């Protein structure tokens, strides 16, 4: 009896065991895998530590050699941001008086773009505005990582008597996948020339079409930017920006109080902000030592142009603006230092809306529909035979100026040539000659302007990165 019981017991346990043994096996396997993963993690940690300690060892070795390690308990100097200061001064010689220059215009396109103009309340003094000596600016740049996710960049633009925050923006690549986010105040990446600061330009003054359509700052706005670089071998970048819309030349959203001039006038109301949207696509590829970079850009937004308190032809505009851009840069490198660059950009703008012309004496505003279509180009060739010399020529033109379907003045041309000597990466000495055939006086007569600009630009502090 006992035997039978034992046999049946053993048999049943064996049967049971077959399934539970499988379970057990599985569990052991799982645990083994876990242990392996953990071991791997521990070992990776140890390896990381070993890399870190060999760094630290080097630091220690350094400290042994330096003698003054005392009283460093609370020093924060290693957290100082990268600081740079760029100073730009120039000497200008011109065949036209400063006072006369400020009254010249590109009829239907832009008013007084050269010389100092006191009436627009601009704190940012124009470059090379006066005959003789000019203190163009001091630009203070501070930048540093804020934490593991954000970097903060800032540029303070000092004129002789004022200062403005030209740029202050954060960037982050934390999103990964080639996405870069930027927010704050910054130069838009519209086109090629727009995001470059004055000291990176190849000429002492702005390209005519940029200056005439967008003013001396270009598109410099508060807003947010999102860019995505495609995961391809060929460089392809797509970007979008939402901007406040504060460009005096063609974008804006604030109210214009025409009733202040004459109580019978009705005011132009404010439109929603932000009011400016930008999109662009850029692509680049290399053929040997030649790099080709091209892009198309588009900007659209509400327009508010306030010239209501101007002395002559006072007016205000409300409506919608569009700006189209296409750029092409071809850069060939002969060696590490010598290159030839051909850079061109086409801009076309459309402003559609209502124009309020203000009578000189009664200050009464008369409304009329307005449609402007204007286009221009700049093209420049720069040759650097070595690290220290650069020479270049630029041709500027605005060749289309249609106002309410009528052809307006469309002969705006400018020719520039420059020679640059750099004693180092940080000093730029330049002589530039301009023949400006784009400006007209009040009688509609063209005034040709010859100018020679001697420019000196210095950078101290943190090493700025070379731009493409």
Partner 1 sequence: MMKKLFLLLIPFALFANIKIAVSYPYIGELTKKIAKDNVDIITLAKGNWDPHFVVPRPSLISKVRNADALIMNGGQLEIGWLPPLLERAGNPKVQVGGEGFLNLFDFIQPLEKPIVVDRSCGDVHPDGNPHYNLDPKNILLLADKIKTFLTILDFKNKQRYEQNYASFSQIWKKKIQEWKEKMASKKGLKVLQYHTNMAYFINAYGLQSIGTIEPLPGVPPSSKHTMKLIQLIKKEKPYAILHDVYHAPKTAKFIASKTGIKILTMPHDVGALENIDSLEALFDYLVGSMQ
Contacts with partner 1 by CB under 8 A lie at: 40, 43-44, 47-48, 50-51, 54-55, 58, 61, 148, 151, 171, 173-180, 227-237, 282, 284-286, 291, 293, 331, 333, 335-337, 339, 386-388, 423-426, 460, 463, 465-468
Shortest gap between Cβ of 205 and partner 1 (angstroms)?
A: 25
**Which of 233/311 has CB closer to partner 1?**
233
**Which of 20/49 has CB closer to partner 1?**
49
User: What is the spatial distance between Cα 257 and Cα 308, in angstroms, rounded to a whole number?
Assistant: 9
Name the β-bridge partners of 392.
382, 418
Shortest gap between Cβ of 343 and partner 1 (angstroms)?
A: 14
Shortest gap between Cβ of 381 and partner 1 (angstroms)?
A: 18
Shortest gap between Cβ of 266 and partner 1 (angstroms)?
A: 48
* Separation of CA 417 from chain center: 25
Are residues 183 and 170 in contact, defined by beta-carbon separation less than 8 angstroms? yes
Torsion angle in degrees (nearest 10) through CA of 346, 350, 356, 358: 20
Shortest gap between Cβ of 39 and partner 1 (angstroms)?
A: 10
Shortest gap between Cβ of 429 and partner 1 (angstroms)?
A: 15
**Which of 77/232 has CB closer to partner 1?**
232
DSSP designation for 177: T
Q: How many residues does the chain have?
A: 468
Question: Which phi and psi angles does 249 have, rounded to 5°?
Answer: -80, -30
**Which of 84/416 has CB closer to partner 1?**
84
User: What is the spatial distance between Cα 197 and Cα 164, in angstroms, rounded to a whole number?
Assistant: 15
**Which of 17/47 has CB closer to partner 1?**
47
Q: What are the DSSP calls for 93-128, one per residue?
A: EESS-HHHHTT-EETTTEE--SS--STT--SSPPTT
Shortest gap between Cβ of 277 and partner 1 (angstroms)?
A: 21
**Which of 132/173 has CB closer to partner 1?**
173
* Separation of CA 327 from chain center: 15
Q: Which residue has the tokens 């030209």?
A: 166
Structure tokens, 34: 């876990």
User: What is the spatial distance between Cα 334 and Cα 384, in angstroms, rounded to a whole number?
Assistant: 10
Shortest gap between Cβ of 311 and partner 1 (angstroms)?
A: 45
Task: Check residue 383 and give left, alpha or beta (phi > 0: left; psi -120 to 50: alpha).
Answer: beta
**Which of 171/247 has CB closer to partner 1?**
171
**Which of 284/413 has CB closer to partner 1?**
284
Are residues 106 and 438 in contact, defined by beta-carbon separation less than 8 angstroms? yes
Are residues 344 and 393 in contact, defined by beta-carbon separation less than 8 angstroms? no
């Amino acid at each position: 009896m006992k035997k039978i019981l034992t046999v049946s017991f053993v048999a049943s346990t064996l049967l049971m065991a077959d399934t539970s043994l499988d379970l057990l096996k599985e569990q052991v396997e799982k645990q083994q895998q876990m242990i392996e993963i953990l071991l791997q993690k521990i070992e990776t940690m140890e390896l990381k530590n070993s890399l870190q300690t060999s760094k630290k060892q080097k630091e220690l070795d350094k400290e042994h050699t330096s003698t003054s390690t005392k009283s460093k308990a609370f020093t924060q100097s290693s957290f100082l941001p990268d600081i740079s200061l760029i100073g730009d001064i120039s000497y200008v010689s011109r065949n036209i008086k400063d006072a006369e220059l400020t009254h010249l215009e590109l009829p239907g396109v832009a008013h007084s773009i050269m010389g100092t103009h006191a009436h627009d309340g601009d704190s940012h003094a124009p470059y090379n505005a006066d005959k003789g000596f000019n203190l163009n600016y001091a630009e203070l740049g501070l930048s540093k990582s804020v934490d593991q996710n954000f970097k903060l960049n800032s540029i303070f633009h000092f004129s002789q008597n004022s200062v403005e925050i030209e740029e202050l923006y954060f960037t982050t690549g934390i999103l990964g996948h080639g996405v870069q986010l930027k927010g704050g105040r910054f130069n838009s990446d519209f086109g090629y020339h727009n995001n470059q600061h004055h000291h990176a330009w190849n000429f002492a003054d702005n390209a005519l079409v940029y200056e005439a359509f967008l003013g001396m700052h270009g598109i410099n706005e508060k807003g947010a930017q999102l860019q995505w670089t495609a995961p391809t071998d060929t460089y392809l970048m797509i970007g979008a920006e939402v901007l406040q819309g504060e460009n005096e030349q063609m974008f804006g959203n604030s109210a214009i109080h025409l009733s202040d001039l004459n109580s019978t006038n009705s005011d132009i109301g404010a439109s929603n902000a932000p009011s400016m949207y930008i999109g662009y696509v850029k692509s680049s590829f290399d053929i040997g030592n030649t790099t080709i970079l091209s892009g198309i850009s588009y900007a659209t937004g509400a327009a508010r142009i306030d010239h209501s308190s101007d002395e002559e032809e006072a007016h205000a505009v409300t409506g919608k603006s569009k700006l189209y851009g296409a750029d092409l840069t071809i850069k060939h490198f002969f060696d590490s230092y010598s290159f030839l660059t051909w850079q061109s950009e086409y801009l076309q703008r459309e402003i559609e809306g209502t124009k309020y012309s203000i009578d000189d004496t009664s200050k009464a505003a008369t409304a009329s529909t307005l449609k402007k279509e204007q286009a221009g180009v700049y093209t420049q060739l720069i040759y650097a035979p070595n690290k220290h010399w650069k020479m270049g020529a630029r041709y500027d033109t605005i060749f289309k100026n249609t106002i309410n379907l009528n052809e307006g003045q469309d002969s705006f041309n400018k020719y520039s040539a420059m020679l640059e000597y750099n004693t180092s990466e940080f000093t730029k000495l330049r002589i530039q000659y301009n023949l400006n055939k784009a400006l007209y006086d009040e009688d509609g007569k063209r005034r040709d302007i010859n100018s020679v600009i001697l420019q000196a630009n210095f950078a101290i502090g943190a090493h700025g990165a070379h731009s493409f």
